[in-house]
Amino acid sequence: MTTADGAGTREAGVAREEAQLVALRAGDAAAFGELVDRLNGSLLRLARMYASNPAIAEEVVQEAWIGVIQGLDRFEGRSSLRTWCSRIVINIARTRAAREHRQIPFSAFDDPSAGAEPAVEAERFLPASDPEWPGHWVSYPARWDEVPEERALARETRDLIDAAIADLPPSQREVITLRDVNGWGADEVCNALGISATNQRVLLHRARARVRRSLERHLVPGETSMGQVDGGTAAFR
Amino acid sequence: MNAEPVTCAEFGELLDHYFDVGPVQRAALDAHSAGCATCRDAFVRATEELSDLPCRAFVELVTDYLERAMSARERARVSRHLELCEGCRSYLAQIRTTIELAATPAEPPDPALRAALVAAFRATRGGS
């Protein structure tokens, strides 16, 4: 078995996974309960990206768990348990979505350069012809650390982020959900979605840039219109 | 807190990393270039090249920077730009906040579902 080059923490993680897999194969129901505790939430989030409603997402995840129970002997341990379980969820969810003739994320076949747009609106920068500062900020982005914490952590902000992610093109949505919402590593996301490291980075870049723009409009209203450099932060003092 | 003095060869090697190294190592590099005109010239040339990065290009490099998916030279260029540009430091901080705010702890499984799944596991694989 080849493991990625890695630090001790990763090796400890691999050892833990192996122990868990041995317990699962031996029919240890407590180990299975722990696996459900650890993964159900993120699998559900994954399924929701493909499902037309939350009830279907729950069904998909349940079906996937049954697949996990039945497939444990076929699982070779080449990927993490989490990656393997996620692939089962993705397969079931995609099959169901296709049956319902709905558009489904398929990052593996997406051209990452399609629909390319700059991370930040072009008009936020001085033109290339500017004699002194070509391509530099017209006015600096605001410092969000001056936004009151209650505002940043408010339910409203959470909802806004969820809505911004839901609005993304499907392949960007898949990548940012796994990476930033679920907190997975880059390798794991490439593995689960079957995409290259470069493709993963490009999709993540676009997705984060768009979510940042939504947050900016929400946290610093009026920021996208041009203001002067030092006036930008005064609004929410 | 004094670092070992560096030689010209070491200075040349560390030049690209000047904006990535810690304060102690940086002080050692500064001490060397203060006393060595050749290395000081090399440093000035390198930083001029490094600081030639418009903000508009920086914002497209942010993800590669955070993912550490760039060459040492490119990384040094980005680090140098960040030292010089308050606007891009804010932008990077905004991206970091975006990542932090996106993270959500996963909900624990519904207890009834958990119990049903564990029962299914027992029925299929238990009793060994």
For B104, which residue in chain A has the nearest alpha carbon? Answer: A181
pLDDT digits (tens, 9 = 90+) for B52-102: 789 999 999 999 999 999 988 889 889 989 988 999 999 999 999 999 999
Within 8 A of A57 by CB-CB distance, chain B residues are none
* For range B37-44, the mean pLDDT: 85
Report how far residue A24's alpha carbon sits from residue B121's, in angstroms, rounded to the nearest whole number.
Answer: 9
pLDDT digits (tens, 9 = 90+) for B98-119: 999 998 877 899 999 999 999 9
- pLDDT given for residue B1 in this prediction: 52
Candidate from A25, A29, A120 with C-beta closest to B59:
A120
For testing contact with chain B, the best of A89, A120, A229 (most B CBs within 10 A): A120
Shortest Cα distance, chain A CAs vs residue B23, angstroms: 25
Report how far residue B85's alpha carbon sits from residue A229's, in angstroms, rounded to the nearest whole number.
Answer: 12
Shortest Cα distance, chain B CAs vs residue A201, angstroms: 7
- pLDDT given for residue A144 in this prediction: 86
3-state SS of B35-84 is HCHHHHHHHHHHHHHHCCCCHHHHHHHHHHHHCCCCCHHHHHHHHHHHHH
- pLDDT given for residue A226 in this prediction: 43
Q: Provide the mean pLDDT of chain A.
A: 82
Residue B33 has pLDDT above 60, yes or no: yes
Asked if A40's CB is within 8 angstroms of B126's CB, the reply is no
For B87, which residue in chain A has the nearest alpha carbon? Answer: A140
Candidate from B69, B90, B102 with C-beta closest to A161:
B102
Does B44 or A222 have the greater pLDDT score? B44
Asked if B59's CB is within 8 angstroms of A119's CB, the reply is yes
Within 8 A of A216 by CB-CB distance, chain B residues are 94
Confidence of residue A1 (pLDDT cuts 50, 70, 90): very low
Candidate from A42, A58, A66 with C-beta closest to B106:
A42
The yes/no answer to whether this complex scores an ipTM above 0.85 is no
Are A201 and A207 contacting, i.e. CB atoms less than 8 angstroms apart? no
A127 φ, ψ (degrees, to nearest 5): -65, 160
